[in-house]
């Protein structure tokens, strides 16, 4: 059940980040960006910056979705910077 929830929440986070960053990806990339971006958001905002609610990144609640989308948007920005992903 955990993997199904991760895929579902990752798809939502990836889709929102796709819209925020004006990117065009498919469902599979949305899931991948959402899951990896949530981990990145948890690390950057939770571990590095010390924001306590960032540890919920990737959870299906408001702060979890917020920090997941921030991490996924940061991931899209990094991928564009290194020209791995197109606009």
Residue 19: inside a domain = yes
Q: What is the pLDDT of residues 10-41, one digit of tens each?
A: 999 999 999 999 998 899 999 999 999 999 99
Q: What local confidence, expressed as pLDDT, does residue 40 receive?
A: 94
Q: How many domains does the chain have?
A: 1
Assign 3-class secondary structure to 15-68.
Answer: HHHHHHCCCCCCHHHHHHHHHHHHHHHHHHHHHHCCCHHHHHCCCCCHHHHHHH
- Global model pTM greater than 0.85: yes
Whether 87 is in a domain gets the answer no
Identify the pLDDT of residue 87.
64
Instruction: Provide mean pLDDT across the span 36-55.
Output: 88
Question: Domain range for residue 69?
Answer: 3-82
- Average of pLDDT values for 38-60? 86
């Amino acid at each position: 059940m955990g993997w199904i929830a991760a895929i579902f929440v990752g798809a939502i986070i990836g889709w929102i980040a796709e819209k925020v960053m004006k990117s065009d990806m498919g469902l599979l990339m949305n899931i991948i960006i959402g899951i990896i971006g949530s981990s990145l958001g948890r690390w950057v905002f939770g571990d590095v910056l010390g924001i306590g609610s960032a540890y919920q990144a990737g959870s299906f609640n408001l702060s979890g979705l917020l920090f997941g989308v921030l991490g996924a948007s940061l991931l899209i920005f990094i991928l564009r910077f290194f020209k791995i992903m197109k606009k």
